[in-house]
A and B are shown apart, each in its own frame.
Chain A
């Protein structure tokens, strides 16, 4: 693996989850999930909406109540104070301030993580919003809105980026640009966990974690998944895994 090879004492795994259960409002929404993510990998978290992707991501960034089991990030329990400067999080509903301009939003989030002006300018360029810096976020398109949110997550140069549906509502060109950017980040040693309900985005990931109804269906490379299921594309693989899963549950 390119990038950081884990100098002395640094954990090999960016994210390590074992037998994770999450209960929300008396209903169990994650059932015994186990995932290992290596440093510098791009991991795609795929599955239909409502399958628990967001809950899993919220657990990883340490804001989910009702989680039991193991969930370590960079060798520390999820949500530890030390992780707050090391993990960048982009929520599903682009959570930035609509009544502020792009630059005002970024200045604020920069102050929280100690990023300087140069960093703000670099991130603005990275997400292609330099031309919109003085526009109110509420006046931007959905895709631009999303990119403000992504920029806010990038400001602190996090080691781990947790991105909940970052490409939703983006046109194919922007989507490609964004994935190129994720690649560059990964080449720099950043670990990315990216959720999507668009199965096609599996092509862009080093590994794929597939979920359905709060359970893990598979965690593998794309090629591994295709070989294992004997299918030609990711949607076929997902359907095959679902069928196998249902058979297993029935028996």
Chain B
């Protein structure tokens, strides 16, 4: 050992801690090629399957393709994030991190950044196959669809970060998927236009993030220009991400039972 160290107040660099956390989460993924495969390949396969199923009906895949690009990122990133953070809680690493200078925002931001990067790659891969190979044609630029897909993935990540606080086991965490996501699928405008829903359901649909992602995707499918409504949807999705991360920070405790 080296010379004794004086009791010292250390400058804490939260930016560095956040970046180190993001890098660490990505390193964990890198050691898990199967999960990377699932993250990148599963959406492509499912969209490809849909394209094949609808191949006999002229123009139907063009109506649905973009909507699926709005659903898969949310679903997949929610699952991955809630399980990953739950493992930190149950494995004792989160407890250890909470005794270090790490701030809650460093932790949540690190995960957000890492999975945000994954979401970008996922969106690029899914869009490349959907537009390139499966021949989806929409009115708006492809980049706008990718942007919504990435935001959607970040909603899934922040929802996963928040929800993992309420699960004790991975088994429970998976149960949150049907509970939190299925109602969103039913209300978001895929099954029926939100404006046609009974009043109370329409009100609920308006406070669910997927509604805005799907609304944006529908707009992009038919409008050549990125409309003001799409930008409103982008803003609302951004707001959901901020609110969910704040809620996640509120449920992340240094002290636990």
Partners in one complex: yes
A contact set with B: CB distance below 8 Å: 3-4, 10, 24-25, 58, 61-66, 74, 79, 81-82, 84-87, 89, 91-93, 95-100, 104, 107-109, 111-114, 122, 126, 136, 152, 156-157, 159, 181, 184-185, 188-190
Instruction: Give every chain B residue within 8 A of A82 (Cβ-Cβ).
Output: 9
B17 close to A111 (CB less than 8 A): yes
The 9 A-B residue pairs with the shortest CB-CB distance, nearest first, are A95-B92, A111-B20, A85-B10, A189-B4, A65-B255, A108-B24, A112-B100, A89-B99, A84-B101
A63 close to B93 (CB less than 8 A): no
B101 close to A91 (CB less than 8 A): no
Smallest Cβ distance from A63 to chain B, in angstroms? Answer: 5
Name the one of B1, B16, B91, B256 contacting A63, with C-beta atoms under 8 angstroms.
Answer: B256
Can you name 16 A-B pairs with beta carbons within 8 Å?
Answer: A63-B98, A63-B254, A63-B256, A64-B255, A65-B253, A65-B255, A66-B257, A85-B8, A85-B10, A85-B101, A91-B92, A97-B93, A104-B24, A104-B27, A188-B3, A189-B4
B92 close to A79 (CB less than 8 A): no
Q: With A and B bound together, what is the CA distance between A136 and B31 in angstroms?
A: 9
Q: Nearest B residue to A113 by beta-carbon distance?
A: B100
B31 close to A99 (CB less than 8 A): yes
Smallest Cβ distance from A38 to chain B, in angstroms? Answer: 15
Smallest Cβ distance from A122 to chain B, in angstroms? Answer: 7
Instruction: Give every chain B residue within 8 A of A92 (Cβ-Cβ).
Output: 92
Q: Is B199 at the interface (CB under 8 A from chain A)?
A: no
A63 close to B255 (CB less than 8 A): yes
Q: With A and B bound together, what is the CA distance between A62 and B2 in angstroms?
A: 28
Q: Nearest A residue to B91 by beta-carbon distance?
A: A95
Smallest Cβ distance from B191 to chain A, in angstroms? Answer: 39
Instruction: Give every chain B residue within 8 A of A64 (Cβ-Cβ).
Output: 255-256
B101 close to A188 (CB less than 8 A): no
Most chain A CB within a 10 A radius of its CB, from B1, B5, B10: B1
B99 close to A122 (CB less than 8 A): no
B20 close to A112 (CB less than 8 A): yes
B99 close to A86 (CB less than 8 A): no
Instruction: Give every chain A residue within 8 A of B58 (Cβ-Cβ).
Output: none
The 0/1 profile, CB within 8 Å of A marked 1, for residues 213-254 of chain B is 000000000000000000000000000000000000000011
A114 close to B13 (CB less than 8 A): yes
| Additional A-B contact list (14), CB under 8 Å, known A95-B96, A114-B11 | A24-B257, A63-B98, A65-B255, A82-B9, A85-B100, A87-B99, A89-B99, A99-B32, A100-B28, A100-B31, A112-B17, A112-B20, A112-B100, A156-B100
A79 close to B24 (CB less than 8 A): no
The 0/1 profile, CB within 8 Å of A marked 1, for residues 91-122 of chain B is 11101111111100000000000000000000
Interface SS of chain B: helix, strand, loop or mixed? loop
B255 close to A62 (CB less than 8 A): yes
B24 close to A63 (CB less than 8 A): no
Smallest Cβ distance from A135 to chain B, in angstroms? Answer: 12
Instruction: Give every chain B residue within 8 A of A136 (Cβ-Cβ).
Output: 31
Q: With A and B bound together, what is the CA distance between A87 and B257 in angstroms?
A: 20
Q: With A and B bound together, what is the CA distance between A139 and B23 in angstroms?
A: 21
Smallest Cβ distance from B133 to chain A, in angstroms? Answer: 33
A86 close to B100 (CB less than 8 A): no
Smallest Cβ distance from B214 to chain A, in angstroms? Answer: 35
Q: With A and B bound together, what is the CA distance between A185 and B3 in angstroms?
A: 10
Q: With A and B bound together, what is the CA distance between A181 and B1 in angstroms?
A: 8
Q: With A and B bound together, what is the CA distance between A220 and B49 in angstroms?
A: 72
Instruction: Give every chain B residue within 8 A of A84 (Cβ-Cβ).
Output: 99-101
Smallest Cβ distance from B73 to chain A, in angstroms? Answer: 23
A97-B4 contact, Cβ under 8 Å, with A62-B254, A63-B254 = no
Q: Nearest A residue to B11 by beta-carbon distance?
A: A114
Q: With A and B bound together, what is the CA distance between A96 and B23 in angstroms?
A: 15
